[in-house]
Amino acid sequence: MKIGIIGSGYVGLVTGTCLAHLGHSVTCVDNDPEKIRTLKSGKVPFYEPGLHEMIENNVAAGRLFFVTDISKIVNRCSVIFICVNTPSRPDGSADLSFVENVTKSVGKHLRKFCLVVAKSTVPVETGEWIRRTLKRTVRQGVPFDVASNPEFLREGSAIQDFMRPDRIVVGVETQRAEKILRELYASMKSPLIVTDIKSAELIKHAANSFLATKISFANGLSRICDAVGADVDKVTLGMGLDPRIGNQFLRAGVGFGGACFPKDLKAFLHISEELGVPFGVLGEVIRINDAQARYFSEKIMNRLKPLRGKTLGVLGLAFKSDTDDMRNAPSLAILPLLQKEGAKIQAYDPQAIEKARPHLKGIKYAADPYEALNGAHAVVLLTEWKEFLSLDWKRVRRGLKGRFFFDGRNMFSPGEMKKHGFHYFSVGRPSA
């Protein structure tokens, strides 16, 4: 099939590349000329394991193209995926202006049938709004259809998630749209769920909100564990082995971040309020998450006070491991609070330093973890990169000025870190 992808960010680029890998002819559009220049020169504008090689192979095979102009793809593709960003507005609602621009642009150029599919995460009833917008903008008599195909990939394992998803959700209103999407995904083995468009839109918001709720639940629990000296990892293990609960995402830490959970929760809460059926629990999930960064910062402040003149060696800045994405990373909330109290920060992240620089000022960025920890009074771990598991702790201890270790991801066992000579604090577990 000939596919057009509008918006070549994390979702668009992975979607386009994977669809090309499945044998389709794919053109990715982005209105950021720098991004398209980078892609055309054989580079990838962000870090995602395996993506670079896959893009290279599909470009070489003549199945993957990059352009800046929507008009170049509209009448050449039978399916167009909208993959643009849908950020939060100040009131929490989803800013659909990018979706609107793209929809109008597609409508303006459309001369023959095309299926327009929203892959961006959008509030329920956006599909209907896209249909109305297209109807207003296309030339009279030009046929089109609209569908929803929410994306569930996770940054860091995006290719695997796209190629072998737990499920593919397609929201359609016509048999023609269903047939096209079934054909598009025909070679994939995952279960394909066909719903109406509104239900598909709700599946995405509901799934992200539920996952975020599990994280906030574990974080709320961690504070109770801290108050009584219990171990949150053992509590969540004991809960999660019940298959009705499950242990995934039931982990305490510094809170969730990234481009999706915070904004999707706010957008879902906002639309529920607009519909007159406020989904109040989502507000509490957001509040617990916002408070968790401060909670962890205060742990550090209380142990090290006064922070003025102390140096903190920070391991990890990205919102999670295996990505360079800094959007809503907990480090963006935690480090300024510590700096405000007078702490000096030396930080290392395997991938995210360049993306962190514009947001985190006054920080000494290090080339490796040992340099970040050299001369520091304490270790502060904020992202669970695997490489931190195999650090040479003797070498770290030799370079450190103090022995405090604050683990915001419960990556290590308190007993083990005590053996390495650290005074170790984590989230919701007894210190050692």
By annotation, the residues acting in catalysis are 260
Which residue's entry shows tokens 């539920």? 210
By CB under 6 A, tell whether 7 contacts ligand NAD.
yes
Of 10-18, 56-64, 227-235, 371-379, the segment contacting ligand NAD by CB under 6 A is: 10-18
Window 70 to 99, contacts with ligand NAD (CB under 6 A): 83-86, 98
C-alpha span between 68 and 274 (Å, rounded): 36
| Residue closer to ligand NAD, measured from CB, 14 or 180 | 14
Window 360 to 389, contacts with ligand NAD (CB under 6 A): none
By CB under 6 A, tell whether 168 contacts ligand NAD.
no
Select the residue interacting with ligand NAD from 115, 134, 259, 338 (CB under 6 A): 259
| Residue closer to ligand NAD, measured from CB, 29 or 79 | 29
- Exposure class string for 187-212: b at 16+ Cβ within 10 A, else e: eeeeebebeebbebbbbbbebbbebb
C-alpha span between 43 and 145 (Å, rounded): 34
**Residue 59, number of CB atoms within 10 A of its CB:** 17
| Residue closer to ligand NAD, measured from CB, 83 or 335 | 83
Select the residue interacting with ligand NAD from 20, 102, 329, 400 (CB under 6 A): 102
Burial of 318 per CB tally in 10 Å (0-12, 13-18, 19+): buried
Select the residue interacting with ligand NAD from 3, 5, 11, 400 (CB under 6 A): 11
Number of residues in contact with ligand NAD, rule: CB under 6 A? 26
**Residue 165, number of CB atoms within 10 A of its CB:** 18
Please, which contacts does 277-284 make with residues 24 or more away whose CB atoms are closer than 8 Å?
279/209, 281/213, 282/209, 282/213, 284/216
State the nearest-atom distance from the C-beta of 128 to ligand NAD, in Å. Answer: 17
C-alpha span between 419 and 373 (Å, rounded): 19
State the nearest-atom distance from the C-beta of 367 to ligand NAD, in Å. Answer: 27
By CB under 6 A, tell whether 339 contacts ligand NAD.
no
State the nearest-atom distance from the C-beta of 253 to ligand NAD, in Å. Answer: 18
| Residue closer to ligand NAD, measured from CB, 214 or 327 | 327
Q: Contact 168/186 with Cβ under 8 angstroms? A: no
Select the residue interacting with ligand NAD from 4, 5, 12, 369 (CB under 6 A): 12
C-alpha span between 55 and 267 (Å, rounded): 32
Residue 38, SS3 per DSSP = helix
Residue 146, SS3 per DSSP = strand
Q: Contact 283/320 with Cβ under 8 angstroms? A: no
Of 6-14, 181-189, 218-226, 229-237, the segment contacting ligand NAD by CB under 6 A is: 6-14
**Residue 58, number of CB atoms within 10 A of its CB:** 23
- The 114-133 site mask, x for binding ligand NAD (CB under 6 A), equals ------xx------------
Burial of 305 per CB tally in 10 Å (0-12, 13-18, 19+): exposed
Window 14 to 33, contacts with ligand NAD (CB under 6 A): 29-32
State the nearest-atom distance from the C-beta of 161 to ligand NAD, in Å. Answer: 9
State the nearest-atom distance from the C-beta of 262 to ligand NAD, in Å. Answer: 10
Using CB under 6 A, list all residues that contact ligand NAD: 6-12, 29-32, 35, 83-86, 98, 101-102, 120-121, 151, 153, 155, 259-260
